[in-house]
Each structure stands twice: as C-alpha cells, then as structure tokens.
Amino acid sequence: MVQRSKITTLTEFIIQRQSEYPHAKGALTRLLNDIATAAKIVNREINAAGLVDILGTAGRENVQGETQKKLDVFANETFITALKGGGECCAIASEENERVINFSNEFSSLGKYVVAMDPLDGSSNIESNVSIGTIFSIYRRVSEAGGGTQEDLLQAGLNLTAAGYVIYGSSTMLVFTTGKGVNGFTLDPSVGIFCLSHPDMRFPEEGKIYSINEGNYIYFPQGVKRYIKYCQENDPETFRPYTSRYIGSLVADFHRNLIRGGIFLYPGTTKQPQGKLRLLYECAPIAFIAEQAGGKASDGHKRIMEIEPETLHQRSPLFTGPRAMVDKLESFMKQCGNK
C-alpha cells in the first residue's frame, strides 16, 4: 500500500494553529471554512464555464459601472449565501454591491466579523480561460450589536484579522494569512478538501519580474516611467533586464510574483489618478499578504496598510512585491515628485 505523505487539511491546520489564538473560540475557523466552502462551489462553476450557460455578461453593470459577467454575479451570490448562513459574519462589502450588505437576522447579527470581498477578480479573463480569483479581507466588527455597519468595514489594513485569495488556475488554491505568515492550500478536487501545499510562503529576496499594463505608459507618472526603463536596462549584476509578465488578473499576477519573485504595479494615471484597484477588497488584503510574506505594498509613497478608507469602493495605486523592488520604485517616485 503506497503511503500518501501525511496531508494537513485546512481545518486541521487552523485547529493546530488555534492554540496560538487563546482568545479564539473557533469563530474565525468556521468563517474561513465558510469561505473555503463557497470557493469550492465557485470553482466547480468556473471549471464547467465552457460547458454550461455561465459565460458572458449578466446584462447589467455593477456599482463601478463595469459590465457584470454571469460568473461575477454567481460568485457574489455564492459567497454572500455562505457567509450569511455561516453566522460568523454580520456584514459584507462586495465589489458587486454599492452598499454594505448587513445581516440583521438573529443568527448572523451576532457575528463578530465583517468581510470585504472581490468575489471574482480578473473577470475580463473568463472567456479566455485565464486564471481568475477571489480576494477577501476579514475584520473584527467595531459596532456593538445588530447587523454590521459601514463603519465596521471602513477600517485600515492595519486592523485586518485575516486576508486571503483563491486562485482558480491550473489548480485551485486558497492562500491566506491571519498575521502569522502566509500559507497556501491546494484543493484536491477528488475529495473536495484544501490541503496544505505551500507552508510559510515568502517572496524571494530579489525578483526578476515586473508586472504592469504598459499599454497605459503615456499616462503613467514620471517616476513609474523611470522605473520601467530601469527594469529594462542591461545590468546582469542586478538581474536586469527583468522579465515582463502581465496577465490582467491581480490574483494571478500577484501569486506568480509571490512564488517566483516580482513586483506588481498598478499606478495612478492622468486618466485615473487613484488607479483602478479598490483599496478595501483588492489593495489592502493583497498588501497584508505581501507584508506577511516578507514583502512590501505601497501606493508609491506610503504603506497601503495605513490608508484609512473613507468610502467602500475607493481606489488606490498599488505597488507590491519584494521589499527591495518596491523600495526602488518608491525612490524613483520620490525623485520625480507627483508629476
């Protein structure tokens, strides 16, 4: 009988780590499991996307004015249902909903946590079968009781209890942090269990990849233009010229750069001074993971985790990757001012 090496499931891992959280009574464990359950359901639909009527647009726009894809709507509804039913979360902020969804039913209004989420990230890539993802942030509520409120969600990244993403790629992975490092779990579809496959994930010290949509070059700040040229200079001692890799799904670009070492850049432009990515459910959770993996995440001048959100869907420039790479980008931004 071939002995399968001992696998650690997501539930076993959290329970093993539970001892590190004496105050926790299992609520965060149950909440993470609710997210994992929803991820498995979304994963099933994505894998069948080419075969069933789940592709294409849902025929309406979301609060961002972006055309919603059927899978955006399906993923959003799946995560909301799982979180509402789980009882650990009393409110949700979603990319797909203009306002906070608060759960005032008896069961969930007692939930200690709130969740901000991008239920499906990289939607524009669905039809081309490119990896997409889900991004989530978990905060402890600050309001006393009753269904959660907007103030529960408008918290800086420094207050995050946990953050993670699911990447629906060649394999489906759940990667998350609760503030004690980053761990990656790969879904074994034959039994529907997330198994620990990437313990203690960390950026390589130095990276050789830069990821940015260079189609927007003419709209970039001078500091970003200078940094792109720096990446393209010939200097073998510092592994330059770097390799350019950009797929257009934040989760997929970030995950590749975390594994192989690279910087992801989504700057503000003259067209969109605050950039495209949303602070609450894209930049802040990714920043928490990046910092916990020994990297850095900045808006070009300050730490993403320190930005106090004022509105649910506010945007922020995002530069994230190994510390040395983000430091270099920030030095160019400083030299060139805000031009």
Residues that bind ligand AHG (CB under 6 A): 66, 95, 118, 121-123, 213, 248-250, 266, 276
Which listed option, ligand AHG, Mn ion, none, makes contact with residue 181 (CB within 5 to 8 Å by class)? Answer: none
Give the max Cα distance, the chain: 66
Which listed option, Mn ion, ligand AHG, none, makes contact with residue 249 (CB within 5 to 8 Å by class)? Answer: ligand AHG
Residue 62 Cβ vs Mn ion, minimum distance, rounded to whole Å = 8
Residue 12 Cβ vs Mn ion, minimum distance, rounded to whole Å = 31
Which listed option, Mn ion, ligand AHG, none, makes contact with residue 39 (CB within 5 to 8 Å by class)? Answer: none
Q: What would the two tokens of residue 238 be? A: 């510092």
Which listed option, ligand AHG, Mn ion, none, makes contact with residue 248 (CB within 5 to 8 Å by class)? Answer: ligand AHG
> Is residue 118 near Mn ion by the rule CB under 5 A?
yes
> Please, which residue, 115 or 250, has the CB nearer to ligand AHG?
250
Residue 255 Cβ vs Mn ion, minimum distance, rounded to whole Å = 13
Which listed option, ligand AHG, Mn ion, none, makes contact with residue 96 (CB within 5 to 8 Å by class)? Answer: none
> Is residue 121 near Mn ion by the rule CB under 5 A?
yes
> Is residue 88 near Mn ion by the rule CB under 5 A?
no
Q: Alpha-carbon distance 232 to 238, whole Å?
A: 11
Question: 175, 156 in Cβ contact below 8 A?
Answer: no
> Please, which residue, 66 or 200, has the CB nearer to ligand AHG?
66
> Please, which residue, 14 or 280, has the CB nearer to Mn ion?
280
> Please, which residue, 132 or 187, has the CB nearer to Mn ion?
132
> Please, which residue, 208 or 278, has the CB nearer to Mn ion?
278
Q: What would the two tokens of residue 170 be? A: 């060649």
Q: Tokens 């004015």 correspond to what residue? A: 65
Residue 123 Cβ vs Mn ion, minimum distance, rounded to whole Å = 5
> Is residue 253 near Mn ion by the rule CB under 5 A?
no
Residue 293 Cβ vs Mn ion, minimum distance, rounded to whole Å = 20
> Please, which residue, 208 or 256, has the CB nearer to Mn ion?
256
Stretch that binds Mn ion, among 7-15, 49-57, 87-95, 183-191 (CB under 5 A): 87-95
> Please, which residue, 15 or 55, has the CB nearer to ligand AHG?
55
The site for Mn ion, by CB under 5 A, has a size of 4
Residue numbers at the binding site for Mn ion (CB under 5 A): 95, 118, 120-121
